[in-house]
Amino acid sequence: MTAMPLTADFKLPAGWKHVPLKRNLRRLSDKTKKGERVVALENIESWTGKAVETGSTFDGDGVAFQKGDILFGKLRPYLAKVYLTETDGEAVGDLWVLRPQSQIDPSFAAYQLLEPGFIDLVNGSTTGAKMPRAEWGFVGAIPVPTPPLEEQTAIARFLDRETARIDGLIEKKTRFIALLKEKRAAVITYAATKGIDPDVPMKDSGVEWIGKVPAHWATTRIAALFREAFRAPDPNLPVLSVSIHDGVTDGELSDEERDRKVALSEDRTKYQGVAPGDLVYNMMRAWQGAFGAVAVNGLVSPAYVVARPIAEFRTKFVEHLLHTKSAAEEIRRFSRGIADFRMRLYWDHFRNLRICLPPLEEQDAILSRIERETRRIDALITKTERSIALLKEKRAALITAAVTGKIDVRSAA
């Protein structure tokens, strides 16, 4: 991202000045416990400045804010949690309450704090490896390009209009992706439970969560298809993971992906081996669909359950079946725990799950149909996600150009 021009030799437009942030925004620290409009980090959307309702409750004292104050997330500032308040309230947790002074337009100041170069600078100053936090002593001293108040207001109005237009396009494309994902799930559900021949005679499967199936399909139990297994690990193999959306990875995660998804132990002897055709699931997330068919030799967490096939069928077909919404509800019924985050699916319970399977040749045909149709849908999703990423880049670049004086928006505002 382009850094904010902070050096004194950067040529600003006429009438603009480099001003330490603390002269424009005064940090408040008076504690309160009124419980009015409580805002925490999780209530602020990254990079957009929008409020998010989570339904969470918070205890402890917070810092009082007034309408027009700005909240800034000092924990992990790369998340760009900035919110221009619309009511009075109380900020809790790792939020600074910043009050715009008379010479600064609050909306303009909020856009300054959302400028990617400013966020990069603040993020580079943090201390603490696991919980990086910014210090006001550094942030407050950052010189920010500041135009006259009238021009600040013009810039803020311009950005309000343009970012709203971009956000509208992003929202529209995000809804389109949601519809595509619904269609993808429907394609898989229908093919895995009803087949691909619209004229085939149907029968009651005798399995409540599946309902009617083609008359020639067989009903069986997981225990007739798999047995729980433990393979000794080969430390030279890649560590695989199971996703609730994508099943088992075909290779080891990159360092960046691992940082976001899993913690990798350096001792690979603690893992268990898996082979193509195995079914792997995360005990604690099985009810969310964390099942996957293994395609390559590898290693998985000892916290996963590995099921080795003992009959001739396609494990990938079973994976698709277990990813359906009705299967998730049934698996939840088989899981044990006092709360969602403690629900576990033990093998002794999972083995009794009843499913329906078509003949092997038909499984292959169904899998081919699913692969073909989902590939087309996935391509549309990827294309739309790229479009959203470009719009977000445009939004960020527009904010940078406007709040640093690279473009004159007074006539456009």
Looking at the domain assignment, is residue 9 inside a domain?
no
pLDDT at 35: 64
**Strands, E assignment, 101-154:** 143-146
Q: Supply the pLDDT for residue 5.
A: 53
Predicted local confidence at residue 245, as pLDDT: 79
Take residue 121 and report the two structure tokens written for it: 């600078």
Question: Is residue 10 in a domain?
Answer: no
Rounding to the nearest 10 degrees, give the CA dihedral for residues 350, 353, 356, 360.
Answer: 30
Q: How many CA atoms lie within 13 A of 94 on its CB side?
A: 15
Determine the pLDDT at residue 6: 52
Which of 338, 357, 376 lies at the terminal end of a domain, its last residue? 357
In this prediction, residue 8 carries a pLDDT of: 47
Residues 281 and 368 in one domain: no
Instruction: Indicate whether 23 and 77 sit together in one domain.
Output: yes
CA 184 to chain CA centroid, nearest Å: 19
Tell me how far apart the alpha carbons of residues 80 and 44 are, in angstroms, rounded to a whole number.
9
Residue 28 sits in the same domain as residue 135: yes
Q: Do both 182 and 48 map to the same domain? A: no
Instruction: For residue 409, tell me if it sits in a domain.
Output: yes
Cα 386 to chain centroid distance, Å, stands at 16
pLDDT in tens, 15-44: 999 999 999 999 999 887 766 789 999 999
Residue showing tokens 């994902």: 181
The 10 Å CB-count burial string (b at 16+, else e) for 71-99 is bbbbbbbeebbbbbbeeebbbbbbbbbbb
Of 324, 339, 357, the one marking the end of a domain is: 357
Same domain? For 319 and 396 the reply is no
Helix (H, G, I), strand (E, B) or coil at 394: helix
Asked whether residue 205 falls in the same domain as residue 346, the answer is yes
Could you tell me if 232 and 115 lie in one domain? no
Task: Give the model's pLDDT for residue 260.
Answer: 43
Q: pLDDT below 70 — which residues of the chain?
A: 1-10, 34-35, 251-266, 340-341, 412-413
For residue 268, the model assigns a pLDDT of 79
Tokens of 270: 């603690």
Query: For residue 251, what pLDDT is reported?
Result: 67
Asked if residue 259 is part of any domain, the answer here is: yes
Same domain, yes or no: 208 and 347: yes
Q: How many CB atoms lie within 10 A of CB 246?
A: 11
Q: In whole angstroms, how far apart are CA 71 and each of 7, 68, 142, 171, 330?
A: 26, 10, 17, 24, 44
Residues 31 and 71 in one domain: yes
At 256 the pLDDT is: 46
**Same domain as 130, residue 84:** yes
Give the residue numbers spanning the domain of 351.
199-357
Distance CA 216, CA 358 (A): 7
Distances (CA, A) of 374 to 183, 184, 279, 324: 9, 6, 21, 14
- Clarify whether residues 189 and 261 are in a common domain: no
User: What integer pLDDT is reported at residue 2 of this predicted model?
Assistant: 45
CATH number at residue 344: 3.90.220.20
Record the tokens describing residue 148, joined without a space. 């006259």
Q: How far apart, in whole angstroms, are the C-alpha atoms of residue 246 and residue 316?
A: 12
Predicted structure pTM score = 0.84
- Please indicate, yes or no, if residue 5 is contained in any of the structural domains: no
Number of domains the chain is built from:
3
* Closest to 73 measured CA to CA, from 84, 59, 83, 64: 83
Are 339 and 399 members of one domain? no
Amino acid, single-letter form, for residue 27: R
pLDDT (0 to 100) of residue 31: 84
β-partners of residue 282 are 304
